[in-house]
Amino acid sequence: MAIANKRRETEVFSLAFLDCICCGFGAVILVFILTVAQKKDVDKADVDAARARLSAAQKSVTMTQQELDRLAQVLAAAQLELQDVNAKSTQDQLKLSDRKRELLLMLQQTGALKDALHTLLGEKKALPTEEVAPPIPIPNVDRRQYLTGVKLQGEFVVFLVRTSGSMLDDTIDAASARLGDSDEKKREAPKWQRVVQSIEWMLASLGPDTRFQILLFSEDTTPIIPTRGEDWFSTKDRATMTEVVSRLNAIVPKGGANLERAFTTVRFLPRLPDSIVLLTDGLPTRSDSLPMEGDVDENARLRFFEIATKQLPPRIPVSTILFPMLTGDPGAPGLYWELANATRGALVSPAKSWPDT
């Protein structure tokens, strides 16, 4: 009895205690296993996120490298451009230096030229002066203002010069008597010489920029220089002026006077004049629109004048120099005065003694 009680006291663990220990250990293992599995899932998500960030960073690095490459190219181009600018600046500085040297040389030459000019001017003052004769000398310069009433307006002027037989003298009978003279005597007729001198005076009075044409009218109308009927002459052209004067002095007055044809010729010039100067001694004696043969009476001449004025180009001043005709057309001064008023021209009637006194 005593021995059995002793064995029972020495047992430290019972079966129930072992079961509890085992169960607790199994629970710990189960918790560990569950915790480790969940941790694995969490680490995988972090890894994927990290990989995504790494990929984005790599892309960013790639883009940054491309931008660096582009900037490097821009920098290289800028450096080349800077080199060109520096080279150009060097060239410009060299050119500026050359120009400075040229300017200094020019200043020196200018000073030398001024000295030479001063010397030449002094020599010129010491030389005897010689007047250059004008292309056409003004007849009787003391009476140069006599024809100032004639309006030489504009840049282009036409002179219509009557060259009919009536221009030989101051009366119809005297002019008719001169028709039998030689051509040389007809050219020297006092009345005709006054006409020539009047033309020369007006040509000499033209401005340097004024152009002119001379049309001679009798039975027909012809330019003073037949081959240059469409040209405009300048007083600065000495060769042309010499030829004009020569042809003026070679004219022989003869025949009738067709003013209608003269005005028609002016109307169809390639370039219309700015003013017309008519040199005549009376009314026309011929007309294309109303042809008549032989002598015509005053009524017919009045009709011829009326027809002629209708051929005038519009808005062109007509100034008339009416030379004396003591018999024949008493109404001529009044009609030419009306023509001057209608066209804003002028009428001048030189004295018989002009330009001698």
Q: How many CB atoms lie within 10 A of CB 223?
A: 16
Helix axes 298-309, 259-267, angle to 10 degrees: 0
pLDDT computed for residue 356 by the predictor? 58
If you average pLDDT over residues 235-248, what whole number do you get? 94
pLDDT computed for residue 108 by the predictor? 78
Alpha carbon 210 to chain centroid, angstroms: 20
Q: What pTM, to 2 d.p., does this model score?
A: 0.61
- In single-letter form, the type of residue at position 355 comes to P
Q: Do 345 and 339 form a contact (C-beta atoms < 8 A)?
A: yes
- pLDDT tens digits, one per residue of 320-351: 999 988 777 888 999 999 999 999 999 998 87
pLDDT band, residue 26 (cuts 50/70/90): confident
Residue count of the chain, please give it. 357
Average pLDDT, the chain: 83
If you average pLDDT over residues 62-81, what whole number do you get? 85
In degrees, rounded to 5, the angle at the alpha carbon of residue 324 between the alpha carbons of residues 323 and 329 is: 105
Q: In terms of C-beta density within 10 A (0-12 exposed, 13-18 middle, 19 or more buried), how is residue 295 classed?
A: exposed
The pLDDT of residue 145 is above 50: no
**Gap between the Cα atoms of 277 and 318, Å rounded:** 6
Residue 212 token pair = 């002119």
Helix (H, G, I), strand (E, B) or coil at 235: coil
Helices (H), 237-351: 238-248, 259-267, 298-309, 332-343
In degrees, rounded to 5, the angle at the alpha carbon of residue 200 between the alpha carbons of residues 196 and 206 is: 145
- In percent, how much of the chain has pLDDT > 90? 46
The CA radius of gyration of the chain, in Å to the nearest whole number, is: 59
Greater pLDDT, 18 or 172 = 172
pLDDT computed for residue 142 by the predictor? 44
Helix axes 298-309, 332-343, angle to 10 degrees: 10
pLDDT computed for residue 144 by the predictor? 42
pLDDT computed for residue 101 by the predictor? 82
Residue 154 token pair = 């504009």
Q: How many CB atoms lie within 10 A of CB 316?
A: 19
- In percent, how much of the chain has pLDDT > 70? 84
The pLDDT of residue 141 is above 60: no
- In single-letter form, the type of residue at position 62 comes to T
pLDDT computed for residue 132 by the predictor? 52
